[in-house]
């Protein structure tokens, strides 16, 4: 991904929409620039040598509340990437209607090249270096690519230790509210929140378009946390999930007549965990076997004749090279930026309904807000109550975007941007 161009393209796209709908250009331009970019040198001892890693935190906008956004460990992390992602977070928190702003952070590192102790040291050192600029009322990081509740717990532990050394006097529950996506003092339901939110949006869209879930086929690209929960919950809601994929490829299963057979998602998940990849996990109706099963590439999955396509892994997977092959009539963007701008225009012109990432995958930040609130109030919410609340938040966000698209006679992406910008520019 050309990171710089992603940030610039995002800015240009938003400025274009602002111009089209007569939004105050100077205010939009001011909003688009991040408030602050923190660049860090993070020293970690590896095999007797001190290695310096580059770290970042982009604090984009706190107009609606404390900065909020994930923290990724990846060798391709750059300043431009975190700037673009923090901009999207500002829009996402506004769309889903939580009183938070947008931020994003990362460390340029291949975490697989570190052992657990080195990873812990890196995590704790990052927390030390950003201590002064984060906090429950300033900026609230969360897990993202290659980070998880364990890594966040190391950071929280370090953060609380420093706060106590400095005698800041905050209650411990508020210090825990400085991060979300934690294992300790985390939120029941946070793990499935993004997939759950996406399926809530899918169900609301199906009502608007009068789709019968039992006759609607779905293919999900990506079988990590988001893709798995989306596939599982969509299946439970009655949709026919007929193909899923991981980084090595996808699987489908057909009957004798060549019709797709819906996959048994919990069994596929079990099989993948056992084998390490989806290859051979042709599970349907409670049975995993090779009969009718077929391994396909991720490119094949994107070209399947299904009703709904769900890119839930990487950015830019639907692009100028393959957009002509897409046969689905609906795309739900569960990854960040999985459809490039030119592919977006091409598919929209063909009549494809695309639910943009800033709406479709905003269940994660809605869940993060509930976790932050739970810590701030020193309470523990029950899973049932969390999911009920999350569903209402996602339904309200979808309805606001849908109504805006109807009122402005535009697509859901432009409508999402308008809903967000109208809240931020108030």
DSSP string, 135-146: BTTTEEEEE-TT
My answer on whether 64 and 111 are in the same domain is yes
Q: Are residues 171 and 243 in the same domain?
A: no
Element holding 160 (H helix, E strand)? helix 149-165
* Structural domain total, the chain: 2
Spatial CA neighbour of 54 closest among 70, 32, 38, 33: 38
* Same-domain status, 269 and 208: yes
Residue that terminates a domain, selected from 335, 360, 385? 360
Residue 226 domain-assigned? yes
379-398, pLDDT tens digit by residue?
999 999 999 999 999 999 99
Round the CA-based radius of gyration of the chain to a whole number and report it: 21
Task: Return the closest-CA partner of residue 209 out of 321, 88, 109, 332.
Answer: 332
Residue 164 lies in a domain: yes
Total-model pTM: 0.94
pLDDT at residue 3, rounded to an integer:
43
For residues 199 and 343, membership in a common domain is answered with yes
Which residue, of 176, 207, 237, is where some domain finishes? 176
Q: Kindly give the pairing relationship between strand 240-246 and strand 139-143.
A: unpaired
- For residue 409, CA distances in Å to 343, 414, 418 come to 20, 10, 12
Answer yes or no: is 21 within a domain. Answer: no
Of the CA atoms within 13 Å of residue 108, those in its CB half-sphere come to: 16
Domain identity same for 107 and 146: yes
In a domain, residue 114? The reply is yes
State the burial class of residue 142 (Cβ atoms within 10 Å of its Cβ: 0-12, 13-18, 19+): buried
- Known active-site residue 253: no
- Contact at 8 Å (CB) between 184 and 156? yes
**β-strands 217-221, 287-288: how paired?**
unpaired
Q: Are residues 199 and 136 in the same domain?
A: no
Residues 219 and 155 in one domain: no
CATH of the domain at 103: 3.40.50.10860
Q: Kindly report the CATH number assigned to the domain that includes residue 246.
A: 3.40.50.720
Helix (H, G, I), strand (E, B) or coil at 296: strand
Is 268 among the domain residues? yes
**Do 73 and 120 contact (CB within 8 A), yes or no?**
no
Residue where one domain finishes, among candidates 360, 379, 394: 360
The reported pLDDT for the residue numbered 304 is 98
Q: Do 220 and 309 belong together in one domain?
A: yes
CA within 13 Å, CB half, 403 = 8
Separation CA 308–CA 394 (nearest Å): 19
In the chain, what is the straight-line distance between the N-terminal and C-terminal CA atoms, in Å?
A: 33
203 plus 292 within the same structural domain: yes
Residue 70: its H or E element: strand 67-74
On whether both 197 and 344 belong to a single domain, the answer is yes
What is the rounded CA–CA span in Å between residue 267 and residue 229? Answer: 13
Burial class, 242, CB count within 10 angstroms (exposed 0-12 / middle 13-18 / buried 19+): buried
Q: Which residues of the chain have pLDDT under 50?
A: 1-4
* Residues 222 and 134 grouped into a single domain: no
Q: Are residues 332 and 199 in the same domain?
A: yes
Which of 92, 104, 203, 240 is the catalytic position? 104
Residue 142 lies in a domain: yes
DSSP string, 226-258: HHHHHHHHHHHTT-EEEEEEETTEEEEEB-TTS
- Contact by Cβ (8 Å): 101, 66: yes
Q: How many residues does the chain have?
A: 426
Q: Does any domain span residue 342?
A: yes
Q: Which domain holds residue 219?
A: 193-360
Q: Could you tell me where the beta strands, DSSP code E, fall in 159-278?
A: 217-221, 240-246, 249-253
């Amino acid at each position: 991904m050309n990171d710089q161009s992603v940030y610039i393209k995002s800015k240009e796209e938003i400025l274009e929409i602002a111009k089209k709908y007569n939004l105050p250009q100077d205010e939009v331009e001011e909003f688009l620039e991040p408030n602050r970019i923190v660049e860090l040198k993070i020293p970690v001892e590896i095999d007797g040598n001190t290695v310096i890693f580059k770290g970042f935190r982009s604090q984009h906008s706190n107009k609606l509340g404390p900065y909020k956004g994930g923290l990724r460990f990846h060798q391709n992390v750059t300043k431009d990437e975190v700037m673009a992602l923090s901009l999207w977070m500002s829009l996402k928190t506004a769309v889903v209607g939580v009183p938070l702003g947008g931020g994003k952070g990362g460390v340029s590192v291949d975490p697989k090249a570190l052992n657990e102790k080195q990873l812990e040291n890196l995590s704790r050192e990052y927390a030390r270096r950003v201590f002064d600029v984060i906090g429950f009322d300033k900026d609230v990081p969360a897990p993202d690519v290659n980070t998880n509740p364990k890594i966040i717990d190391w950071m929280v532990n370090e953060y609380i230790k420093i706060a106590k050394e400095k005698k800041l006097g905050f209650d411990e529950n508020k210090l825990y509210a400085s991060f979300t996506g934690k294992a300790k003092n985390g939120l029941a339901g946070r793990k499935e929140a993004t997939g759950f939110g996406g399926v809530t949006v899918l169900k609301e869209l199906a009502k608007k378009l009068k789709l019968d879930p039992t006759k609607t086929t779905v293919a999900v690209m990506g079988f990590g946390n988001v893709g798995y929960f989306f596939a599982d919950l969509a299946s439970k809601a009655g949709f026919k999930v007929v193909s899923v994929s991981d980084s090595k490829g996808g699987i489908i299963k057909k009957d004798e007549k060549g019709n797709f057979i819906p996959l048994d998602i919990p069994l596929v998940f079990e099989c993948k965990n056992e084998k390490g990849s989806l290859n051979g996990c042709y599970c349907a109706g409670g049975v995993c076997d090779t009969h009718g099963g077929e391994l396909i590439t991720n490119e094949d999955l994107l070209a399947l004749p299904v009703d709904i396509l769900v890119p839930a892994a990487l950015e830019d997977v639907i692009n100028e090279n393959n957009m002509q092959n897409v046969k689905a009539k609906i795309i739900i963007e569960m990854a960040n930026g999985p459809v490039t701008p030119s592919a977006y225009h091409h598919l929209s012109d063909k009549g494809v309904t695309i639910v943009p990432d800033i709406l479709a995958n905003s269940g994660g930040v809605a869940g993060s807000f509930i976790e932050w609130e739970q810590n701030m109030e020193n309470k523990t919410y029950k899973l049932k109550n969390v999911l009920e609340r999350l569903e209402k938040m996602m339904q309200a966000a979808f309805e606001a975007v849908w109504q805006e698209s109807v009122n402005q006679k535009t697509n859901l992406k432009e409508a999402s941007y308008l809903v967000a910008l109208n809240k931020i520019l108030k």
